[in-house]
Structure 1
Amino acid sequence: MKRLLVLDDPRRAQSLVDYLTDLGLKCELTLDDQHNVTVWLVDEAQWPKAEPEIKRFIAEPLHPRYQAAAWRQGNTDVQFTKGASPSGLLSNFLARTGPVNMLILVACLLIYGLSQVDLPVVQWLSFVPQLSLLLGADIWRGFTPALLHFSLMHLVFNLFWWWYLASMVERQRGHGKLLLLLLVASLLPNIMQFLVSGPYFGGLSGVVYALLAYVWLSGRLNPAGGISLPDGMAVIMVVWLVLGFAGVLGPVANLAHLGGGVIGLIQAWLDRTKAVR
């Protein structure tokens, strides 16, 4: 058998298998302990026929053709060749949330909560007033603005995207890769933002842009690598970036977003030959 793709959504994987079955390509699904679903092509000789379909799925994973195939096949459950089916919502969430992912989720929630009870959290964690201070004991303040959020909507929006994207990266590329992207996409974009707006900014948005760019380009450069995003999702985030620079969204850390996106693209290019863990 030949591995075609690794996904984190069992039903989406089943829809792909149903569609490939309609084309005469027999496939099977397996589920590992981290709830990653692998799509296998039973007859490797059919790879030339399967390859363009896999590329098309990666580009348009939500296209109606796949759901239509599932209806034609009449499948109501995901059919795994071996292993167990995914469990409840909470266990699924915990299974997808690695230690680095969870640490940042908890830290952001805790810091936001403390900021609502009149503790001077912003003063403690904001960027340094002078860049030279990053060379001393305050180097950690180059990172901590990423943990600050100034409204509940700001917090919820960033944490959802952080969790969704970081889950993919941590499972398929490891804790170290996610931590590297987190630190680099915090420090360098924060420095860029400081140079144009001063030290009062915050949020995980720059890191989110880095992860989004990393996951999207990784899927394009290495379709079998286990992580990908639809092109439409990347377009939406680019439009959001343009609107920010145009001033439509109000005061936004635009350079942090741009810097994070560039860092994600560069890291994806460096990792373009890496396979799933």
Structure 2
Amino acid sequence: MIQLLVLDNARMAHALVDYLATLGIGCELTQSELGVAIWLVDEARFVQAQQEVKRFLADPTHPRYMAASWQSGRADARLDYSKGMLDPVTDFLHQAGPLTLLVIIGCLAIYALDAIGLPMVDALAFHPTLTQFTDWQLWRYVTPALLHFSVLHLVFNLLWWWYLGGQIEQRIGSGKLLILLLIGAALPNIAEFFVSGPAFGGLSGVVYALLGYCWLRSKWQPACGLTLPPALMGFMLFWLVLGFFDLLGTPIANAAHLVGLLVGLLQGWLDRHSPVSHQR
């Protein structure tokens, strides 16, 4: 299924779904943290459904929507109008896939183990010198992405990973997310090593890869179901620029961020004509 939109008014969401049903466009409603999510059942009708959503947003109080609800002649047993949200933990899990959750658990576990004195940095950090680039410890190209050095660093990256990675995994598939994770970690880590040395870590290079992928593919292929509000993209680009001008007051892996963004943009461009097969 494809998520069409989320509304904070359950009755209006139900009216829109009833109206779409009169056009032969089947949808389902689920409660989410932000309100009520409307999911398109028949993905072949995505373009028509998207047009109707735009028409609804332009005039949500038009009588056609309430008339459709009256015409349906059935009460809404699917939603509890007394509350607009699911339990936050349930909704958190609902918006993620297995790989998304596995990486979140892994990062939290590594941070906790390092905090109690186990040498996780030594085991997972990037190769310390160029002479070790060809040794058998290939995981060191990727595992620095799992290392975080403060709670703020950890939470910031994991929230972005959950938001972007969850979208990609549920709407494109776990395989694509795994590719972006591996390449979006390895290439930015290599770039950061040559710029600043081996003392770095964090999932932000991967986050920028997911950001670039979601943004470009949503522009080239809206039917894929990926969404990224322009304001969020603008914020992250502004953050990237601030890092290069050293205005954030803390060491930033600027090379990793930039290369991660380029990895995501390239993968999004390569996938712009890929068949849409939503996993949800």
TM range (shorter): 0.7 to 0.9
Q: Which position in structure 2 is the counterpart of 1:61? A: none
Specify the SS of the correspondent of 1:7: strand
Task: State the distance in 1 between where 2:144 and 2:229 align.
Answer: 29
How far off is 1:275 after superposition? 1.1
Q: Deviations over 1:210-242 (max 9, x none)?
A: 111111111111111111111121111111100
- Contact 1:6–1:36, Cα closer than 8 Å, also in 2: no
Partner of residue 266, structure 2: 266
* Correspondence for 2:223: 224
Q: 1:124 to 1:67 in 2, by over 3 A?
A: farther
Find the aligned partners of 1:71 and 1:182 in 2 and give their Cα distance: 45
Q: Which runs of 5+ in 1 are unaligned?
A: 58-64
Task: State the match for 2:255 in structure 1.
Answer: 255
The aligned amino acid for 1:257 is H
Query: Are the aligned partners of 2:2 and 2:171 in contact in 1 as well (CA < 8 Å)?
Result: no
After TM superposition, the structure 1 stretch with the greater mean CA deviation from structure 2, 264-273 or 184-193, is 264-273
- 1:7 and 2:3 correspond: yes
Partners of 1:104 and 1:195 in 2: how far apart?
26
**Contact 2:13 2:38 (C-alpha < 8 Å) held by counterparts:** no
Cα offset, 1:90, TM superposition = 2.6
Contact 1:166 1:211 in 2 (8 A): yes
With normalisation by structure 1, the TM-score equals 0.76
- Go from structure 1 to structure 2 and tell me whether the alpha carbon gap of 1:69 and 1:239 turns closer, same or farther (over 3 Å shift): same
Instruction: Supply the AA of the counterpart residue of 2:28.
Output: T
Shift of 1:272: 1.1
Deviation per residue, 1:59-105 (Å, 9 max, x gap)? xxxxxx9497369968xxxx9xx995695433332232211111110
- Find out whether 1:69 has 2:67 as its counterpart: no
**Structure 2 gap ranges (5+):** 31-35, 67-71, 80-84
Aligned residues: 252
Displacement, 1:120? 2.1
**In structure 1, how many angstroms separate the alpha carbons of the residues matched to 2:225 and 2:237?**
23
Cα drift, residue 31 of structure 1: 5.5
2:161 corresponds in structure 1 to 162
Call closer, same or farther: CA 1:20–1:179 in 2, change over 3 Å.
same
State yes or no: 1:38 paired with 2:39: yes
CA offset at residue 276 of structure 1? 3.5
What SS does the aligned partner of 1:69 have?
Answer: coil
RMSD value, Cα? 3.9
- State the identity as a percent: 40
Contact 2:146 2:201 survives alignment (8 Å): yes
Distance 1:171 1:139, change over 3 A: same
